Amino acid sequence: MDCLFCKILAGEIPSKKIYEDNLCYAFYDIAPQSDTHFLVVPKQHICCAAEITAENADVVAHIFTVIPKLCKELGLDSYRIINNCGAGAGQTVLHLHFHVLSGSNLGERLV
Ligand code: AMP
């Protein structure tokens, strides 16, 4: 499968790893949009949030336990979690991922 994040997970493309377990992988975004910007992805290839089902949702819940743990370890008190679903929302890599951003530029918000 020609998926950038699957290639990162396979070690075929280098990444700045933060955390890994049997279900998910966290690494720094190559083009950070804030002082801290990392991504958390399921190891299982799920295309996007629209592909989350009752059968694969456990990994999403798991990721949402990993994110606060990592943020605490990184000393981040405030942060924003973003998922872009679909090209119209800005999704460029078709492997489910959650952006975690923290820093001084989070004042502007859409919602
Ligand atoms: P999205 O636009 O929501 O699909 O997010 C994809 C993210 O992946 C963007 O923020 C990119 O900067 C990031 N990205 C692309 N290639 C890499 C890479 N090789 N390593 C780390 N992050 C990447």
pLDDT in tens, 59-73: 999 999 999 999 999
- 30 Cα to the center of ligand 1, angstroms: 6
Angle at 65 between CA 60 and CA 71, to 5 degrees: 120
Pocket of ligand 1 (CB under 6 A): 4, 13, 15, 29-31, 84, 90-93
Annotation marks residue 97 as catalytic: yes
Q: What is the pLDDT of residues 31-68, one digit of tens each?
A: 999 999 999 999 999 999 999 999 999 999 999 999 99
**Is residue 76 within 8 Å of 36, Cβ to Cβ?**
yes
The separation between CA 82 and the C-alpha centre of its own chain, rounded to angstroms, equals 8
Phi, psi of 59, rounded to the nearest 5 degrees: -65, -30
* Reported pTM: 0.97
Distance 93 CA to ligand 1 centre (A): 7
